[in-house]
Structure 1
Amino acid sequence: MQETTILRTSDLAKELGVHVNTIRLYEASGFLSPVPRGSNGYRCYSPIHLEQARLTHLVLRWPYVGDKQPLIALVQSAANGDPGMAMEFAYQYMAQIRVERTYAESALEFLERWAAGHTMDISSHPMRIREAAAHLNVSVDMLRNWERNGLLTVPRDPANEYRLYGSTEFGRLRVIRMLVRCGFSLMAILQMLQQIDSGNTNNLRDALNVSHDTKFVAVIADRWLTSLLELEQRTQQIIAQIGRMIEMFYQQ
């Protein structure tokens, strides 16, 4: 494609597999550099606009990790003629994803240790729910929510039916708390715990991936570790795309 090529809105939309209104939205949002108009009033896109639109489509496609604003700043930097800044944002985003992966991997190692039968908590006496919440530094509502969602069953005091949390419950709760804090969904955790409760402690990482019947995954946390790996791969594509755009700027 020659640098003098003039492209229409429909050309960009067809190349990216999106509606023409999506391309117009990219332009209105400042994700493309200013687009000149022909004598007939039609937009005259260049190959650089196509690459900017390609970058936008790649960067802002759901899902993504954390705040969307740095990703918006990334594509706007490229549109404003500063692909170097866009590259910095891309590597910052890569670092963020890798931090999330580190947290997730640590949580999985904690899980595997517990599943192997190692004691994870020593409590001198059974605790009621408020004392248990303070012991774990979580809220009472969180403990009730996890129980309500089937993540654990808490034994009751036969004298008064109050919940009594012992070392067995605390070990399980520490695993649940760490997985939740590291981004895994309650559905994924429940599926994994059900597998453990059935006596199967193999492939627990796979058990944390909730299968869906449709291509649209409503909860990214249902496939958290897999999603992080996919996002890291996409970020590599983003970096490569910015690299191509930098080469195009030098060829002008």
Structure 2
Amino acid sequence: MTFKCWCGVAGGKPLRTVDVARESGYSVQQVRDLERLGVLPPAARSANGYRCYTPAHVRALRAYRGLAGAVGPVEARQLLARVRTQTLAEAAAAISEVHVRLARERDEALRAREALRAIQAGAGAGGSEREGDAMTITELAGALGVRPSTLRFWEQEGLIAPERVTSLRARRYGLAAVRAARVVAALRSSGYGIPAVREIMGSLDRLDGLEETGRVLGRRLDRIAARTVALLRAGADLAAVCGS
């Protein structure tokens, strides 16, 4: 389909809203909404008020689709709006941080699954725990990427049960508590509320509870993989946005 070059775009004809929608897979209204929300740079306007887009707008929408699949729509909008104003080095670093975060989430989920298998096998019980396996609250919070106050809250809610040592009653997390905390962290990251996590953790002494928790962690790993693939698919378009 041909149409008049309203905006005088050098090297090619401008794209109408319907053209951008067709190329990006969004509806016409979604294209307008995403421009209003800052996902797209403002489109030029022709003399009669029509929007005039370029292939850069299509790339930005494709980049947004992949980024939204990786981090969610709200953060994707904020990130794209930010990288358009940053230097190439800054924008590349911002996108790299998303890759790093997904890799960290995957590692945490894998550790939680290993912890669950150890719980299932009864490993770490009795005298098999070594002194070096224990963690302070600061060490465990750092390992899980949460605040110490979060661990205290989980304790109050009956999700984990640390030991207490010294006259100051400083918390000491033995191997069993560390494993439980890893499972709790993975469940919370999967979107489970405190009551649901409490129920799941209370079921770990049953075979069906262990199996269901294993399925939960498996689904989390699958979702992280899907988010990673979405980010990889958006790679070329994100690079174009960062380099524009």
TM category, shorter? 0.5 to 0.7
Aligned residues: 194
Tell me what 1:98 maps to. Answer: 103
CA distance in 2, matches of 1:142, 1:201: 20
Tell me what 1:113 maps to. Answer: 118
Q: Which one has the bigger helix percentage?
A: 2
Shift, 1:85, TM fit: 3.7
Shift, 1:115, TM fit: 0.8
Tell me what 2:44 maps to. Answer: 36
Tell me what 2:157 maps to. Answer: 142
CA RMSD of aligned residues (A): 4.0
CA distance in 2, matches of 1:189, 1:207: 14
CA distance in 1, matches of 2:205, 2:25: 43
For structure 2, the residue ranges without an aligned partner over 5 or more in a row are 1-9, 128-150, 160-173
Contact 2:43–2:51 (8 Å) recurs in 1:
yes
Residue 79 of structure 2: SS of its match in structure 1? helix
Tell me what 1:197 maps to. Answer: 206
Which letter does structure 2 place at the counterpart of 1:237?
A: R
Higher relative contact order (CA 8 A, sep 6+): 2
Contact 2:56–2:241 (8 Å) recurs in 1:
yes
Contact 1:26–1:56 (8 Å) recurs in 2:
no
Shift, 1:46, TM fit: 0.8
Alignment of 1:1-252 (within 5 A): 3-61=11-69, 64=71, 68-69=74-75, 71-77=76-82, 79-80=84-85, 85-120=90-125, 137-138=152-153, 141-143=156-158, 175-182=179-186, 183-184=189-190, 185=192, 197-198=206-207, 205-206=214-215, 208-209=217-218, 223-244=219-240
TM-score by length of 1: 0.59
Contact 1:33–1:49 (8 Å) recurs in 2:
yes
Shift, 1:39, TM fit: 2.2
Which letter does structure 1 place at the counterpart of 2:226?
A: E
Percent of aligned pairs with the same amino acid:
21
Change (3 A) 1:96 1:139: closer
Residue 208 of structure 1: SS of its match in structure 2? helix
